[in-house]
């Protein structure tokens, strides 16, 4: 017996241990090793699709490309050849990374920047809170605080600008019809799937140019990182033999020009003043008390001003401001009513029953501080489905724009309702309620997650109808997660989902009319 | 043949709970004694621990958090040790942990945490100068006992990482005084969290988290004779990698969690009740990074008995088998 133990125990220990540790520790992301994007359809006619802000696809002109038999073009092809003569692993990796899709990769970069900046500022000594300053973005607190409304708007602007820029690019592709360098010179290696789509201007450079220009406004402190990504993206296309330098330069210039129009819109869309003033904050409270209701107050110590109380006044993409107000839902149960008492009791009992599965659902959907927010989460869900669909870049951008305009406009309608009703959170009405994730610092009615998810599921169900049951189930789970977490009442979630669907319907109507088909 | 004072002590060489972590309270169960259980003797018993902190290090910045108040954890565990021979012991433990924050709205957590199993072997005992030197090697594994939530710091009950620890230890005793020095490398397996993406210093589009390995050192010294062991200890846990909590962010399981602790430990049994032993210890974190500045106390009561057939617990000093 002793000898048996003597030998088997150490062996057992070693065996249990070597199995889990035998594998490499590096964990890959789900999209790290994607194959190159090979669109099922080229969407060559996308120049006729309806843009969002552009008056027409040729609002910004680009000059005709140089002919492929000119010495200058031949010199540009030689640039490709000289890169390809000695490719490093790093260069091969760049080609592989960017070949998965330009819109996809820039969406991922944007999600990363949102997550990096989604941190509430730490309080000052006197208990007030500093506000990030766009003109001094690197000083603490860094600009921006990429909270859910800010993020929803950022995703919408970048996606919409990329879409319009690609509509313009496809218009010129068809107009000028300059082939890809590998079609001109068969001796050029092509490291990405070949296409019949004309190469001038480069769709990749258009996407990068629009992203860079838009993100100067949205993430002014991260320019070095953004520029580095853009340089790598452009270089990857030349290394891959997919574009010559003039394809890239024309595309980048076009992307930037189109994005400028979105930057101008963004500067005037009222988001800059959405934080409000102490007078605005006080008025929200006094107005609520005047209605005979218990007002929301911040549950943080020290009390933090409400998150972007005037975001409901931001200019939406899918409808005008009167429509936005018409989408405002009816009131929540009165704070003193039996109904509100019952709803609070329901949340208390849910938090008392904090099962492991509740935590799984709550944390999967928490999308709180330090994450890419609910909009980014829905972008990730959509992106992983879009990857399977092999969309052209312009269709990728169109679908992302429809999704992200829905999410931004959902944020607008939701924030309007939150501050119109200024309804307290469950744990304000019953401090015994302990939450399974952090309590967001804004009023309860209606649930942001529910509104975002209702909108996202609606437009995604239009884009990929055979997944609609899945999207609906995801939206319901996201909504329910906020009740399990103890941070929303049932009414917040149910009305939020309905309101989000109404917002999503506007995107569906736009999608049906934009000429892209499905 | 020489009689070893250390083996004759018949004390439980217990697994101590090292509150490495913490902006929360993950507890690493670890054996750092230079003593051995005699052959065919088993000690087993319950241990209770309480640990709390109000200040923590956000990276290297020490701060408090008014939305957490004081974060406390209570631990109920069962521990034991068995002497396969006088030179080979098996140690084990399992813990149930409950956490709570005194302020803010966050829900506390509770559940079965980790179990650990160690083998402890003395390859060398030698008289050097006036004292006895023992060289001891240990290998231990730990694994979660339940599907508890790791990514809810500082209120998670643990980090969920499976670990393999390899430890070398030297123990030297002169008369009634002793000193023990040990160093440990802890391999930590990657974990899965409920989120499907997270940001460290870059974005990770996966639910799997790379857990950096860790290194720990322990020095303890004190009085060891007959009925009592009284010792002071200084230890350090250093995470080999990981990242700092960013300003006003939440902690994350793969943070660079470092801690240096100072503590004291007493093991005692009355001369006529050698089968019953009391263990009490306390410690305080004196320096740290991405951990709470916790103060901890632990107390346990252990019974010791021989599992050899038809033998009553041996109360006389045993000889070491050479």
Q: Collect all residues with Cβ–Cβ distance below 8 Å to A55 and sequence separation of at least 6.
A: none
User: Alpha-carbon distance A254 to A328, whole Å?
Assistant: 38
The residue among A484, A231, A174, A512 whose CA lies nearest residue A348 is A484
Domain count, chain B: 1
Checking DSSP bridges between strand B15-18 and strand B131-144, what pairing results, if any?
unpaired
Kindly list the residues from chain B whose CB atom is less than 8 angstroms away from the CB atom of residue A228: none
Interface of B with A in 148-177 (CB under 8 A): 148-149, 151-152, 162, 164
Q: How long a stretch of residues is chain B?
A: 322
Q: Residue B104: closest CA among chain A residues belongs to which residue?
A: A300
Instruction: Measure CB to CB from residue B210 to each of A9, A17, A26 and give the nearest one.
Output: A26
User: What are the angstrom distances between the C-alpha of A443 and each of A281, A311, A418, B1, B35?
Assistant: 12, 13, 5, 78, 59
Are residues A297 and A332 part of one domain?
yes
Segment among A181-185, A217-221, A426-430, B12-16 with least mean pLDDT: B12-16
Are A256 and A281 in a shared domain? no
Same domain for A454 and A339?
A: yes
pLDDT in tens, A224-235: 999 999 999 999
Average pLDDT of span A30-39: 97
Please give the pLDDT value at position B29. 45
**pLDDT band (50, 70, 90) for residue B19:** very low
User: Is A6 close to B103, i.e. CB distance below 8 A?
Assistant: no
At residue A17 the predicted structure's pLDDT band, cuts being 50, 70 and 90, is low
Q: Per-residue pLDDT for A467 more than 70?
A: yes
Q: Chain centroid to CA A54: how far?
A: 22
pLDDT at A158 over 90: yes
Q: Is residue B321 part of a domain?
A: no
How high is the mean pLDDT of chain B? Answer: 87
Q: What CATH number is associated with residue A378?
A: 1.10.606.20
Cα B108 from Cα B73, distance rounded (Å): 9
Average pLDDT over residues A423-440: 98
Q: For the full predicted model, state whether its pTM sits above 0.80.
A: yes
Closest partner CB to A140 (pick from B139, B206, B247): B247
pLDDT interval class at B15 (50, 70, 90): low
Q: Is A283 in the same domain as A260?
A: no
The verdict on residue A72 lying in a domain is no
Are the beta carbons of A364 and B195 separated by less than 8 Å?
yes
Q: Quick one: average pLDDT of A276-291? A: 97
Residue A357, domain member (yes or no): yes
Dihedral, A263, A269, A274, A276 alpha carbons, nearest 10: 110
Is residue A169 a part of any domain in this protein? yes
CB contact under 8 A, B187 and A21: yes
Percentage, residues of chain A above pLDDT 90 = 95
pLDDT band at B315 (very low <50, low <70, confident <90, very high): very low
Residues A375 and A351 in one domain: yes
Of all residues in chain A, the one with the smallest CA distance to B106 is A435
Encode burial over A116-140: b for 16+ CB neighbours within 10 A, e otherwise.
Answer: bbbbbbbbeeeeebeebeeeebeee
* A182 in the same domain as A262: yes
What pLDDT, in 10s, does the model give residues A175-204? 999 999 999 999 999 999 999 999 999 999
Domain final residue, candidates A241, A267, A293 = A267
Please, is A469 exposed, middle or buried when counting C-beta atoms within 10 Å of its C-beta (0-12, 13-18, 19+)?
Answer: exposed
- Domain termination residue (choose one: A267, A299, A327): A267
Cβ distance of B247 and A108 shorter than 8 Å: no
Last residue of a domain, one of A245, A267, A289: A267
Summarised one tens digit per residue, pLDDT across range B40-73 is 999 999 999 999 999 999 999 999 999 999 999 9
DSSP state, residue A197:
S
Residue B291 DSSP code = S
Q: Is residue A16 part of a domain?
A: no
Residues A240 and A326 in one domain: no
Cβ contacts below 8 Å, chain A against chain B, sum to 130
Is A214 found in the same domain as A121?
Answer: yes
Q: Where are the alpha helices (DSSP H) in A353-467?
A: 356-365, 373-389, 393-421, 426-429, 448-463
The verdict on residue B56 lying in a domain is yes
Kindly report the nearest CA distance between residue A474 and chain B, in angstroms: 14
Over residues B70-127, the pLDDT tens digits come to 999 999 999 999 999 999 999 999 999 999 999 999 999 999 999 999 999 999 999 9
A231 and A351 in a single domain? The answer is no
Lowest mean pLDDT among A174-178, A237-241, B151-155, B304-308: B304-308
Range of the domain at A440: 274-513
Tokens representing residue A310 in the block: 């005037």
| Domain contains B44 | yes
Residues of A in contact with B189 (CB under 8 A): 20-21
**Do residues B154 and B68 make contact, with C-beta atoms less than 8 angstroms apart?**
yes
Q: Does B270 or A450 have the greater pLDDT score?
A: A450
Residues of chain B numbered 46-75 and touching chain A (CB < 8 Å): 66-67
Of A70-74, A415-419, B38-42, which gets the smallest average pLDDT? B38-42
Q: Are A161 and A308 part of one and the same domain?
A: no
φ, ψ of residue A19 to 5 degrees: the values are -60, -55
pLDDT cut 70: percent of chain A above it:
95
Inform me whether the pLDDT recorded for B322 exceeds 80: no
pLDDT band at B227 (very low <50, low <70, confident <90, very high): confident
Least confident of A235-249, A341-355, B27-41, B231-245: B27-41
In a domain, B1, yes or no: no
Residue B16 pLDDT class (50, 70, 90 cuts) = low
Structure confidence at residue A388 (pLDDT) = 98
Place B14 in a pLDDT band, splitting at 50, 70 and 90. Answer: low
Are residues B248 and A486, on separate chains, in Cβ contact within 8 Å?
no
Give a yes or no: residue A171 inside a domain.
Answer: yes
Its domain, for residue B23, covers: 7-306
Q: What is the DSSP string of A457-496?
A: HHHHHHHSGGGHHHHHHHHHHHHHHHHHTTS--HHHHHHH
User: End-to-end CA distance of chain B, in Å?
Assistant: 8
Q: What local confidence, expressed as pLDDT, does residue B5 receive?
A: 46
Q: Which residues of B touch A5 (CB under 8 A)?
A: 84, 90
Q: Is residue B312 part of a domain?
A: no
* A464 lies in some domain: yes
Q: What is the mean pLDDT of residues A7-32?
A: 66
Contacting residues of B for A439, CB less than 8 Å apart: 105
pLDDT score recorded for residue A21? 54
Give me the number of domains chain A comprises: 2
Judge whether B314 lies within some domain.
Answer: no
pLDDT tens for residues A120-150? 999 999 999 999 999 999 999 999 999 999 9
Contact partners, residue A135, CB within 8 Å, separation at least 6: none
B189 and A20 within 8 Å at the Cβ level: the answer is yes
The CA distance from A423 to A445, in Å, is: 6
Per-residue pLDDT of A313-371, as tens digits, reads 999 999 999 999 999 999 999 999 999 999 999 999 999 999 999 999 999 999 999 99
Residue A298's closest chain B neighbor by CA? B104
3-class secondary-structure state, position B299: strand
CB contact under 8 A, B248 and A120: yes
Residue B24's pLDDT is 35
Which pLDDT does position A222 carry in this prediction?
98
> What Cα–Cα distance (Å) separates residue A219 from each residue in A104, A343, A496, B255?
19, 40, 29, 26
- In the predicted structure, residue A375 carries a pLDDT above the cut 50: yes
Which of A301, A368, A374, A477 to probe the B interface (max B CBs under 10 A)?
A: A301
Same domain, A321 and A182: no
Q: Would residue B311 count as lying in a domain?
A: no
Locate A70 and state its tokens: 């000119």
If pLDDT is split at 50, 70 and 90, which confidence band does B321 have? Answer: very low
Check whether residue A310 and residue A403 sit in a common domain.
yes
Q: Which of B199, B245, B307 to mutate to test the interface with A (most CBs of A within 10 A)?
A: B199
The H or E element containing residue B62 is strand B61-64
In a domain, A369, yes or no: yes
Q: A219-253 b/e with 16+ CB inside 10 Å = b?
A: bbbbeeebeebbebbbbbbbbbbbbbbbbbbbbbb
What CATH number has the domain bearing residue B238? 2.40.160.40
Residue A27's pLDDT band (boundaries 50, 70, 90)?
very high
- Cβ of B107 within 8 Å of Cβ of A364? The answer is no
Quick one: chain A helix, strand, coil %, rounded to 5? Answer: 60, 0, 40
Choose the mutation target among A121, A299, A359, A441 for the interface with B, i.e. most B CBs under 10 Å.
A359
Residue B234 lies in a domain: yes
């Amino acid at each position: 017996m002793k000898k048996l133990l003597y030998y088997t125990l150490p062996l057992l220990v070693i065996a249990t241990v070597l199995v889990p540790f035998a594998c490499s520790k590096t964990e890959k992301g789900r999209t790290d090793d994607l194959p190159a994007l090979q669109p099922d359809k080229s969407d060559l006619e996308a120049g006729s699709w309806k843009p969002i802000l552009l008056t027409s696809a040729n609002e910004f002109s680009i000059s005709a490309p140089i002919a492929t038999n000119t010495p200058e073009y031949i010199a540009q092809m030689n640039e490709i050849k000289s890169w390809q003569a000695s490719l490093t692993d790093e260069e091969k990796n760049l080609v592989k990374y960017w070949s998965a899709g330009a819109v996809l990769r820039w969406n991922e970069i944007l999600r990363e920047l949102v997550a990096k900046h989604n941190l509430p500022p730490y309080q000052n000594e006197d208990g007030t809170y500093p506000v990030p300053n766009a003109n001094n973005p690197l000083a603490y607190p860094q600009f921006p605080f990429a909270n859910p409304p800010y993020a929803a708007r950022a995703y919408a602007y970048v996606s919409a600008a990329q879409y319009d820029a690609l509509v313009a690019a496809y218009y010129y592709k068809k107009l000028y019809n300059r082939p890809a360098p590998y079609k001109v010179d068969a001796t050029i290696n092509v490291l990405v799937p070949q296409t019949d789509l004309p190469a001038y201007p480069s769709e990749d450079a258009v996407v990068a140019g629009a992203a860079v220009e838009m993100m100067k406004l949205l993430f002014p402190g991260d320019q070095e990182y953004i520029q580095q990504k853009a340089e790598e993206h452009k270089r990857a296309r030349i290394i891959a033999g997919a574009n010559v330098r003039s394809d890239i330069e024309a595309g980048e210039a076009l992307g930037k020009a189109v994005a400028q129009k979105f930057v101008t819109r963004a500067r005037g869309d009222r988001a800059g003043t959405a934080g409000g003033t102490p007078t605005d904050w006080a008025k929200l409270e006094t107005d609520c008390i005047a209605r005979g209701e218990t007002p929301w107050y911040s549950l943080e110590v020290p009390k933090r001003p409400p998150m972007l109380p005037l975001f409901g006044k931001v200019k939406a993409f899918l409808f005008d401001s009167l429509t936005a107000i018409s989408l405002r839902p009816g009131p929540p149960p009165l704070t003193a009513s039996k109904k509100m008492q019952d709803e609070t009791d329901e949340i208390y009992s849910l938090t008392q029953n904090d099962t492991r599965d509740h935590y799984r659902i709550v944390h999967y959907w928490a999308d709180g501080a330090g994450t890419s927010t609910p909009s980014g989460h829905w972008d990730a869900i959509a992106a992983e489905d879009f990857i399977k669909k092999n969309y052209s870049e312009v269709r990728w951008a169109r679908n992302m724009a429809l999704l992200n305009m829905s999410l931004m406009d959902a944020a607008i309608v939701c924030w309007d309702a939150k501050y119109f009703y200024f309804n307290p959170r469950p744990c304000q009405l019953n401090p015994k309620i302990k939450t399974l994730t952090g309590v967001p610092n804004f009023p309860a009615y209606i649930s942001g997650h529910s509104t975002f998810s209702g909108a996202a599921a609606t437009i995604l169900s239009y884009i990929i109808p055979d997944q609609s049951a899945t999207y609906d189930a995801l939206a319901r789970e996201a909504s329910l997660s906020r009740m399990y977490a103890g941070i929303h009442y049932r009414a917040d979630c149910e009305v939020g989902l309905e309101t989000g669907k109404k917002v999503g319907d506007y995107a569906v109507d736009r999608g049906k009319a934009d000429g892209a088909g499905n | 043949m020489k009689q070893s004072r250390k083996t004759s002590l018949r004390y439980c060489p217990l697994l101590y709970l090292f509150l490495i972590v913490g902006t929360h309270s993950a507890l690493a169960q670890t054996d750092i004694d230079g003593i051995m259980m005699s052959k065919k003797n088993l000690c087993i018993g319950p241990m209770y621990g309480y640990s709390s902190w109000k200040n923590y290090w956000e990276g290297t910045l020490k701060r408090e958090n008014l939305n957490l108040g004081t974060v406390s954890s209570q631990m109920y565990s069962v521990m034991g040790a068995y002497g396969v021979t006088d030179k080979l012991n098996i140690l084990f433990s399992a813990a149930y942990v409950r956490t709570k924050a005194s302020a803010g709205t966050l829900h506390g957590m509770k559940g079965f945490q980790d179990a650990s199993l160690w083998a402890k072997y003395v390859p060398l005992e030698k008289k050097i100068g006036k004292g006895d030197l023992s060289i001891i090697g240990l290998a231990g594994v730990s694994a979660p006992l339940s599907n508890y939530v790791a990514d809810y710091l500082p209120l998670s009950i643990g980090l969920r990482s499976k670990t393999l620890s390899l430890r070398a230890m030297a123990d030297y005793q002169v008369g009634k005084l002793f000193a023990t020095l040990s160093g440990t490398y802890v391999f930590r397996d990657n974990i899965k969290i409920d989120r499907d993406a997270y940001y460290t210093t870059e974005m990770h589009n996966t639910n799997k988290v790379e857990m950096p390995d860790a290194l720990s050192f322990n020095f303890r010294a004190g009085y060891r004779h007959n009925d009592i062991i009284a010792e002071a200890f200084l230890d350090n846990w250093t995470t080999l990698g990981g990242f700092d909590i960013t300003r006003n962010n939440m902690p994350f399981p793969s943070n660079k969690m470092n801690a240096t602790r100072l503590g004291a430990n007493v093991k005692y049994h009355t001369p006529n009740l050698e089968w019953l032993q009391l263990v009490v210890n306390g410690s305080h974190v004196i320096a740290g990074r991405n951990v709470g500045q916790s103060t901890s106390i632990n107390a346990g009561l252990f019974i010791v008995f021989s599992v050899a057939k038809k033998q009553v617990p041996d109360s006389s000093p045993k000889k070491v088998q050479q």
